[in-house]
Structure 1
Amino acid sequence: MKTLPPGQRLVEGFPRFGAHLHRPPPPVPDDPVIALGGGAVRTSSEVRLAELSQLPRTEIVADFHCVAGWTATDLRWEGVRFADFYRQFVEPALEPGVTVTHLVFEGMDGVVSVVEPQDALADDVLLADRLNGRPLDGDHGAPIRLVSPTQYGYVSTKHLCAVEVCSALPAHRLGTGVLDRLIEGHPRARVWHEERHGRISGRLVRPFYRAIIRPIRYLCAKGAHGR
Structure 2
Amino acid sequence: MSKPSPEVQASLTRRNFIARAASGTVITAMGGGLLYTLSDRLTREAKAMTTIDGRPRLPPGQRALEALRPMGGTPGSPSISDFRLKIHGEVDKPIELDWAGLLAQPQAELELDVHCVTGWSLLGASWKGVRLADLARAAGVKPSARHVIFEAAAGYTANVRLAEALAPDVLIAHRHDGKPLARPHGAPVRAVVPSLYFWKSPKYLSGIKFVARDEPGYWETRGYHNHADPWLEERYG
**TM-score normalised per structure 1:** 0.72
What's 1:100 paired with? 145
What's 1:152 paired with? 197
2:171 is equivalent to residue 126 of structure 1: yes
- Contact 2:182–2:188 (8 Å) recurs in 1: yes
1:110-121 equivalences under 5 Å are: 110-121=155-166
Larger-Rg structure: 2
2:234 is equivalent to residue 195 of structure 1: yes
What's 1:26 paired with? 76
Q: Report percent identity of matched pairs.
A: 35
Q: CA deviation at 1:146?
A: 0.5
In structure 2, the residue corresponding to 1:2 is in which secondary structure? helix
2:186 is equivalent to residue 141 of structure 1: yes
- Opposite residue 48 of structure 1, the aligned amino acid is D
Equivalent residue pairs, number: 182
Supply the distance in 1 between the matched residues of 2:94 and 2:108 (Cα, whole angstroms).
Answer: 27
2:102 is equivalent to residue 58 of structure 1: no
- Contact 2:158–2:219 (8 Å) recurs in 1: no
1:212-223 equivalences under 5 Å are: none
2:226 is equivalent to residue 186 of structure 1: yes
In structure 1, the residue corresponding to 2:46 is in which secondary structure? coil
- Opposite residue 63 of structure 2, the aligned amino acid is R
Q: CA deviation at 1:66?
A: 0.3
Go from structure 1 to structure 2 and tell me whether the alpha carbon gap of 1:114 and 1:87 turns closer, same or farther (over 3 Å shift).
Answer: same
Q: Which moved more, 1:157-166 or 1:51-60?
A: 51-60
Supply the distance in 2 between the matched residues of 1:110 and 1:137 (Cα, whole angstroms).
Answer: 21
- Opposite residue 98 of structure 2, the aligned amino acid is R
Go from structure 1 to structure 2 and tell me whether the alpha carbon gap of 1:131 and 1:169 turns closer, same or farther (over 3 Å shift).
Answer: same
- Contact 2:131–2:171 (8 Å) recurs in 1: yes
Q: CA deviation at 1:101?
A: 1.0
Supply the distance in 1 between the matched residues of 2:132 and 2:206 (Cα, whole angstroms).
Answer: 14
What's 1:204 paired with? none
Supply the distance in 1 between the matched residues of 2:214 and 2:126 (Cα, whole angstroms).
Answer: 33
- Contact 1:102–1:169 (8 Å) recurs in 2: yes
Supply the distance in 1 between the matched residues of 2:117 and 2:92 (Cα, whole angstroms).
Answer: 35
- Contact 1:105–1:157 (8 Å) recurs in 2: yes
- Contact 1:109–1:159 (8 Å) recurs in 2: no
In structure 1, the residue corresponding to 2:184 is in which secondary structure? helix
Q: CA deviation at 1:33?
A: 1.0
- Contact 2:156–2:218 (8 Å) recurs in 1: no
Q: Deviations over 1:83-137 (max 9, x none)?
A: 111111x21xx56xx4101111011243211011111000110111000110011
Go from structure 1 to structure 2 and tell me whether the alpha carbon gap of 1:43 and 1:85 turns closer, same or farther (over 3 Å shift).
Answer: closer
Any stretches of 5+ residues in structure 2 without a counterpart? 1-44, 48-57
- Contact 1:26–1:138 (8 Å) recurs in 2: no
Q: Which moved more, 1:139-148 or 1:66-75?
A: 66-75
CA RMSD of aligned residues (A): 2.2
**TM-score normalised per structure 2:** 0.69
2:109 is equivalent to residue 86 of structure 1: no
Q: Which has the higher contact order (CA 8 A, sep 6+)?
A: 1
Q: CA deviation at 1:12?
A: 4.1
